[in-house]
Amino acid sequence: MKYQRVLLKLSGEALLGERSYGIDPAVLENYAREIKTVVDQGVQVAIVIGGGNIFRGVQGVSGGLVDRAQGDYMGMLATVINAMALQGVLETFGMKTRLLSAIKMEQICEPFIRRRAMRHLEKGRVVIFGAGTGNPFFTTDTAASLRAVEIEADVVLKGTRVDGIYTADPEKDPNAKRYDSITYSQVYEQGLSVMDLTAITLCQENKLPIVVFDMNKKGNFQALINGEPVGTLVHL
């Protein structure tokens, strides 16, 4: 195996599936199957999931409902809902899990403590990080990069609905070309929408590689863990 400890970043929007709002159980089940194949190999898996299928802070701001900080806190709660749903389905598939939140919610999850998170991983538990960084103005991409650095992950794996990073949006531009690998500097210079700049910078400063890949394609996650050329690698 190429990687022993990974941080998997999933978008909240991906949980929509065929729905316009909320969570599609079929998507959760597919993710659980993919994650189980890797966990069964002995790989330590930590997960950060977004909340865009329920609420995004920028939505509240653009609608004039709340200020940015309040909207972001609402978005953090949305990530916890998604994390709880993912935790439930992973356990249905026989995996042991722990949900750690950056905002204290003692009745439903543990508070995030770095050493505790690492100990859970060492014991073979899938660790899900909820509530982002616990601070407004930071995205779940940044939370994924931060947690990956903290738990000393080998790589950040960003599971998306496209098979890598392209010169342009492949869903809009049929002439867009895919990169097999790209440097952090090239991502900056070309303004590519890989992760937000804070997240990219954090990975760059800590020499933490990122792989963007299609999480919806069966077998991709396992192939990537085994070192096969899946997705696009972002590196120094």
pLDDT in tens, the chain (236 residues): 899 999 999 999 999 998 999 999 999 999 999 999 999 999 999 999 999 999 987 776 777 778 899 999 999 999 999 999 999 999 999 999 999 999 999 999 999 999 999 999 999 999 999 999 999 999 999 999 999 999 999 999 999 988 999 998 888 888 999 999 999 999 999 999 889 999 999 999 999 999 999 999 999 999 999 999 999 999 99
Pairing of strands 232-235, 181-183: parallel
Task: Please say whether the beta carbons of 14 and 56 come within 8 A.
Answer: no
pTM for this predicted structure: 0.95
Longest dimension (CA), the chain: 51
Domains in the chain, number:
1
Joined tokens for residue 145 = 């990069």
Segments forming the whole domain that contains residue 90: 5-235
HSE (side-chain half, CA atoms, 13 Å) at 5: 19
15: alpha, beta or left? (left if phi > 0; alpha if psi -120 to 50): alpha
Q: What is the CA radius of gyration of the chain?
A: 17
CA distance 10 to 74: 18
What's the pLDDT at 232?
97
Q: What are phi and psi of 102, to 5 degrees?
A: -75, -15
What's the pLDDT at 169?
84
Joined tokens for residue 202 = 């954090």
CA distance 156 to 151: 11
- Give, in degrees to the nearest 5, the angle at Cα 36 between 119 and 234: 75
CA distance 130 to 134: 9
- Helix residue ranges per DSSP H, the chain: 25-39, 57-62, 68-92, 114-122, 140-150, 184-190, 197-205, 220-225
What's the pLDDT at 60?
66
Distances, alpha carbon 132 to alpha carbons 49, 157, 159, 210, 211, in Å: 8, 16, 17, 18, 20
Q: Which of 100, 110, 89 is nearest to 46 (CA)?
A: 100
What's the pLDDT at 236?
93
What's the pLDDT at 220?
97
User: What CATH number does the domain containing 127 carry?
Assistant: 3.40.1160.10
